[in-house]
């Protein structure tokens, strides 16, 4: 059996407490999960559950207090800054807000060329790669001469995806990448993620609070509740007939397109909340 691309075992992360002499607050309590080659693992949970911290730990943006993160068999839990920079070619990220993650003073061509120049690409090769990237994400060729403010939110997120793809990464951490977009734009960007994965074989660790988004994009799903993984399984099962009460609550809270189905969900949620209060 092929080893996983990412292997996270008993991951613990604590943030400093608020106030003088306050004790650190542990936000992840021993999380374990894997991401396979060419797979999308969806991480879903409500705000404050710890799901974003998992992605930040993988990227080296927070320092774990326990556990282990392996990438391609290599322990990357406590890499130095220099080692992290070397790893950036293979491990990339797409953040939630493309407006703040793109330098407004640089053209799209300059933004996309940055990671290529760091790798030592020649100008001619970089220009060819930029044209390829723009084509991959469905942007016109003249986009490279324009500034981020000249694009819509969905188009800026396409630029952010292109920048993440530029170094040829194997996994990409996606931190709520469509939450700031309207529904129609969300659907197009999600399909773009799927199309790119089918063409390139890239893997995604996809973080979202939206169960419908996770259902659409993921092969498997891990549900995070108060710093713990409470359920993991195939996306079709976890997002339709979950086992854990918390996941069931998330499902009942998700909006339904059909008004009658939405009414039934509201009734089920009220009954469940009433049962919880009594017990």
Length of the chain: 279
Q: Give, for 220, the enclosing helix (H) or strand (E).
A: strand 220-225
The model carries a pTM of 0.88
The C-alpha angle 74, 71, 167, rounded to 5 degrees, equals 115
Q: What's the topology of domain 1-91+170-180+203-242?
A: Rossmann fold (3.40.50)
Task: Check residue 236 and give its pLDDT.
Answer: 95
| Contact between 115 and 166 (Cβ < 8 Å) | yes
The candidate with the shortest Cα–Cα distance to 224, out of 69, 61, 46, is 46
* Half-sphere exposure in the Cβ direction for 101 (13 Å, CA): 20
Task: Check residue 85 and give its pLDDT.
Answer: 85
Distance CA 154, CA 183 (A): 11
Q: What is the pLDDT along the chain (279 residues), one digit of tens a residue?
A: 688 999 999 999 999 888 777 889 999 999 999 999 999 999 999 999 999 999 999 999 999 999 999 999 999 999 998 899 889 889 999 998 877 889 999 999 999 998 888 788 888 888 899 999 999 999 998 999 999 999 999 999 999 999 999 988 899 999 999 998 888 999 999 999 999 999 999 999 999 999 999 999 999 999 999 999 999 999 999 999 999 999 998 888 766 554 554 455 556 555 555 554 444
Task: Check residue 262 and give its pLDDT.
Answer: 47
Distance CA 80, CA 144 (A): 34
Distance CA 195, CA 265 (A): 32
Could you state, in order of their start, the residue ranges of all structural domains in the chain?
1-91+170-180+203-242, 99-168, 244-279
Tell me the backbone φ, ψ of residue 72, rounded to 5 degrees.
55, 35
Task: Check residue 59 and give its pLDDT.
Answer: 95
| Contact between 76 and 69 (Cβ < 8 Å) | yes
The first and second tokens of residue 60, run together, are 């080296």
Task: Check residue 234 and give its pLDDT.
Answer: 97
């Amino acid at each position: 059996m092929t080893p996983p691309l990412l292997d996270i075992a008993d991951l613990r992360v604590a943030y400093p407490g608020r106030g003088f002499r306050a004790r650190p607050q542990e936000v992840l309590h021993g999380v374990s999960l894997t991401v396979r080659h060419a797979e999308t693992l969806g991480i879903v949970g409500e705000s404050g559950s710890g799901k974003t911290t998992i992605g930040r730990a993988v990227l080296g943006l927070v320092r774990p207090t326990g556990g282990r993160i392996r990438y391609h068999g290599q322990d990357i839990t406590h890499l130095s800054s220099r080692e992290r920079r070397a790893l950036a070619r293979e491990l990339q990220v797409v953040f939630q807000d493309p407006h703040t993650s793109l330098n407004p003073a640089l053209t799209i061509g300059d933004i996309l060329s940055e990671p290529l120049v760091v790798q030592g690409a020649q100008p001619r090769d970089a220009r060819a790669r930029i044209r390829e990237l723009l084509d991959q994400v469905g942007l016109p060729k003249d986009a490279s001469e324009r500034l981020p403010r000249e694009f819509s939110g969905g188009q800026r997120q396409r630029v952010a995806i292109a920048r993440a793809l530029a170094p040829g990464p194997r996994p990409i951490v996606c931190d709520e990448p469509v939450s700031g977009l309207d529904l129609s734009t969300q659907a197009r960007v999600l399909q773009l993620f799927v199309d790119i994965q089918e063409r390139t074989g890239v893997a995604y660790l996809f973080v979202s609070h939206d169960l419908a988004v996770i259902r659409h994009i993921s092969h498997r799903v891990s549900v995070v509740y108060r710093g713990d993984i409470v359920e993991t399984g195939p996306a079709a099962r976890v997002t339709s007939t979950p086992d854990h009460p918390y996941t069931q609550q998330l499902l009942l809270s998700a909006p339904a397109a059909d008004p009658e189905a939405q009414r039934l969900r509201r009734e089920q949620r009220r009954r469940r909340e009433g049962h919880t209060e009594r017990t």
